[in-house]
Every structure is written in structure tokens, then in C-alpha cells.
Amino acid sequence: MKFAICAIVLCGLVAPNFAKVFSPTEFGNVMLANGIPKGQIETWKCIAKWESSYNTAAHNTASGDHGIFQINERWWCSPPGKGCGMTCNSLRDADITNDIKCAKIIYEEHQRLTGNGF
């Protein structure tokens, strides 16, 4: 019995950061806290709504898209893409800090190439 209790407690301590579905307001607040300009928040909210319904666990196996922004594995997350320097699995947990970091990298690259990051 003691072993079972210890195992349950230990699993709780090392449990992964499971996925989360954000509310639009909560998502906007997290974006602001991570340096997204206030004037862009509604656009980012629209992207997250239509790409994943604000669900961090979203994964389109047909296209290879991951997370709340549906970031593509071909170029941006590994394996195989490496543009953002992170694993694709890390884009599907409740912590969207790295998703925002990668989305900023993608935005900046598109801004550089086309003049419009979106």
C-alpha cells in the first residue's frame, strides 16, 4: 500500500505539463505578457482561434502542424525542421511561451521576406 501511494505521489510530481484550452481573454493576456504588441493581439487571437480553437494539444498529422498556432514541422520544429530550435512535442503542452517564441521567429522571417509578417 505504501508503494502505491508513493508511486502516485511521484507520478504527480513528474507529470508532464499537459495541454490546455485557453479562453480568448486569457490567451490575449499571455501574448501581451510575452511581448506581443497590443495592436497585434486580435490578429494573433484570430490565428489561434482558427488554427487550434486555442487548444495547445492540437496536432494535424496530415500536415505536420503542432500546437496552438499549428506550427509546421517541415521547417520550424524538430524533427525534422529546426528553424525555431525546439521539438514539435514541446509545442503541444500548456506552456505556450515557446510557441510564442517560435511564432515570433516565423513572423519576423515572413516580415523580412514579404514585408508582412502575417
The catalytic position among 26, 42, 65, 108 is: 65
Task: Indicate which residue of 42, 51, 99, 109 is catalytic.
Answer: 51
- Cα gap 47→29, rounded to integer Å: 15
Active site residue 26: no
> Which residues face 21 on adjacent strands?
55
Would residue 51 show up in a list of annotated catalytic residues for this protein?
Answer: yes
Cα distances from 11 to residues 1, 15, 19, 33, in angstroms, run 16, 6, 17, 31
> Which residues are known catalytic residues?
51, 65
